[in-house]
Amino acid sequence: MAETESALQAIENGLAALGTRFRDAFAKAENEQALRVEQAKVLGKKGELTAVLGLLKGVLPADRPAAGARINVFKEQVEQAFSQRLKEIHRQARDAELSALPFDLSLPGRTELGRGHLHPVAQTRDALLAIFRDLGFAVGAGPEVELEANNFTKLAFPPDHPATDMQDSFWVDVAGAQPGARTLLRTHTSAVQIREMSSHRPPMAVVSAGSVFRRDDDLTHSPMFHQIEGFMVDEGVSFAHLKAVVGAFAERLYGPGTPVRFRPSYFPFVEPGAEVDAGCAFCVRPDGSHAGCRVCKQSGWLELLGCGMIHPDVLRHCGIDSEKYTGFAFGLGIDRVAMLRYGIPNIRLLFENDPRFLSQF
Ligand code: PHE
């Protein structure tokens, strides 16, 4: 009996001492982390209460339930004191925040994240599209995986044209495609002409821009590159209209007074066809003559685009009356213009997407 009493007494003493100690420690804890550490010292597995629990062994079985209940009450007291102090700590932190000096709104913002911007090819694309939009063209679009018919056949490419070779085109199998309808990654944006002319009626003037794909890979050719294509169809559209549009475009791109020259050329879907050069904007003298430079290879001219009068067969393939309507079309590479615009020597730099390179534009 005496043993039990002294064990009970020891528990009571232990709890009393612990009670004073933890209340004091909780009150001194200045933040949540310190408070949690203090709570663990009391209630944790190796905590002080566990030591007191060890004393239960010395208590008579009949007295144990009462002693256990006493310890549970103590535990609850600890938990209650803990959550009360935690609330206090939170309130104090909030008060300190509210009574502190207000944020200095004039401080500069954090800039370490940096600000993104459009890729130089996208910037150039948008600049070119804006010129044609100003000239009255609508903006259309087509898919990058294209039917052979839209990319070649309706554009009057003969079936044995070298561009259709395995060497030049990426042919792809499309699940669920119509049997016999071959598909490829479009080799040029001229396919959009076919789509637009097959789905709309003249008068129409449309430009479109996007990625095109060819089996080409060297300093100035990439298997994926970008083109802008434009065309206009109406009654009485002539080569003079083409010259006017191309001339206006060159002046807006390279500056007022930029001359253009037309060289006869061949594309299956135009007749006549031409390639157009613009006076080199990099070595032009104030009087309009050219000094000759590396960019234009001393010629004073830069290749600008391919163009021509839309072949009547192409109009017919799209269901447009070629007796009534005529039209012109042109196409140019965006990447080359971007390279000239920013002085980029290697087309691959455009597609490696190295932030150290891209952040310069
Ligand atoms: N599609 C031609 C090419 O990729 C460019 C072009 C477009 C030529 C329109 C004439 C008319 O080379």
Enclosing domain of residue 73: 2-99
Residue 107 falls within a domain, yes or no?
no
Residue 115 falls within a domain, yes or no?
no
- The amino acid that residue 54 corresponds to is G
Domain edge (last residue) among 69, 99, 129: 99
User: Are both 81 and 133 inside the same structural domain?
Assistant: no
Q: Which atom of ligand 1 is nearest to the CA of 189?
A: 1
The Å distance, Cα 228 to ligand 1 centre, comes to: 9
Q: Please, what is the end-to-end C-alpha distance for the chain in angstroms?
A: 91
User: Are both 153 and 293 inside the same structural domain?
Assistant: yes
User: Are both 236 and 354 inside the same structural domain?
Assistant: yes
Q: Which atom of ligand 1 is nearest to the CA of 187?
A: 4
Residue 50 falls within a domain, yes or no?
yes
The Å distance, Cα 23 to ligand 1 centre, comes to: 85
Structure tokens at 254: 């390279």
Residue nearest to atom 7 of ligand 1 (CA): 331
Beta pairing class for 224-234 and 145-147: unpaired
Q: Is the Cβ–Cβ distance between 205 and 242 less than 8 Å?
A: no
User: Are both 70 and 214 inside the same structural domain?
Assistant: no
What's the confidence (pLDDT) of residue 28?
94
Q: Is the Cβ–Cβ distance between 317 and 154 less than 8 Å?
A: yes
User: Are both 241 and 295 inside the same structural domain?
Assistant: yes
User: Are both 76 and 128 inside the same structural domain?
Assistant: no
Q: How far apart are CA 140 and CA 191, in angstroms?
A: 11
Residue 105 falls within a domain, yes or no?
no
User: Are both 157 and 12 inside the same structural domain?
Assistant: no
Count of domains for the chain: 2
The Å distance, Cα 298 to ligand 1 centre, comes to: 26
Q: How far apart are CA 312 and CA 325, in angstroms?
A: 9
User: Are both 196 and 310 inside the same structural domain?
Assistant: yes
What's the confidence (pLDDT) of residue 178?
84
User: Are both 52 and 132 inside the same structural domain?
Assistant: no
Domain edge (last residue) among 68, 99, 130: 99
Report whether residue 190 contacts ligand 1, using a CB cutoff of 6 Å. Answer: yes
Domain edge (last residue) among 39, 70, 99: 99
What's the confidence (pLDDT) of residue 1?
44
Report whether residue 307 contacts ligand 1, using a CB cutoff of 6 Å. Answer: yes
Sign of CA dihedral 144, 184, 329, 127: positive
Distance of CA 13 to the CA centre of its chain: 69
CATH number at residue 209: 3.30.930.10
The Å distance, Cα 189 to ligand 1 centre, comes to: 8
**Residue 212, beta-bridge partner list:** 225
Q: How far apart are CA 134 and CA 249, in angstroms?
A: 10
User: Are both 33 and 145 inside the same structural domain?
Assistant: no
pLDDT tens digit string along 153-205?
999 998 888 777 655 789 999 888 788 889 999 999 999 999 999 999 999 99
Residue 144 falls within a domain, yes or no?
yes
Tell me, letter by letter, the H, E, C secondary structure of the chain. CHHHHHHHHHHHHHHHHHHHHHHHHHHHCCCHHHHHHHHHHHHCCCCHHHHHHHHHHHCCHHHHHHHHHHHHHHHHHHHHHHHHHHHHHHHHHHHHHHHCCCCCCCCCCCCCCCCCCCCHHHHHHHHHHHHHHHCCCEEECCCCEEEHHHHCHHHCCCCCCHHHCCCCCCEECCCCCCCCCCEEECCCCHHHHHHHHHHCCCCEEEEEEEEEECCCCCCCCCCEEEEEEEEEEECCCCHHHHHHHHHHHHHHHHCCCCCEEEEEECCCCEEEEEEEEEECCCCECCCCCECCCCCCCCCCEEEEEEEEEECHHHHHHCCCCCCCCEEEEEEEEHHHHHHHHHCCCCCCHHHHCCHHHHCCC
User: Are both 253 and 323 inside the same structural domain?
Assistant: yes
pLDDT tens digit string along 284-338?
999 989 999 988 999 999 999 999 999 999 999 999 999 999 999 999 999 999 9
Residue 321 falls within a domain, yes or no?
yes
Residue 192, Cβ density class (10 Å: 0-12 exposed, 13-18 middle, ≥19 buried): buried
CB atoms within 10 A of CB 350: 23
Q: How far apart are CA 90 and CA 100, in angstroms?
A: 15
Residue 233 falls within a domain, yes or no?
yes
Q: Which atom of ligand 1 is nearest to the CA of 212?
A: 4
Sign of CA dihedral 234, 239, 243, 246: positive
- pTM score, whole prediction: 0.69
Instruction: Give pLDDT < 50 ranges for the chain.
Output: 1
Structure tokens at 352: 């490696």
Residue 109 falls within a domain, yes or no?
no
User: Are both 86 and 28 inside the same structural domain?
Assistant: yes
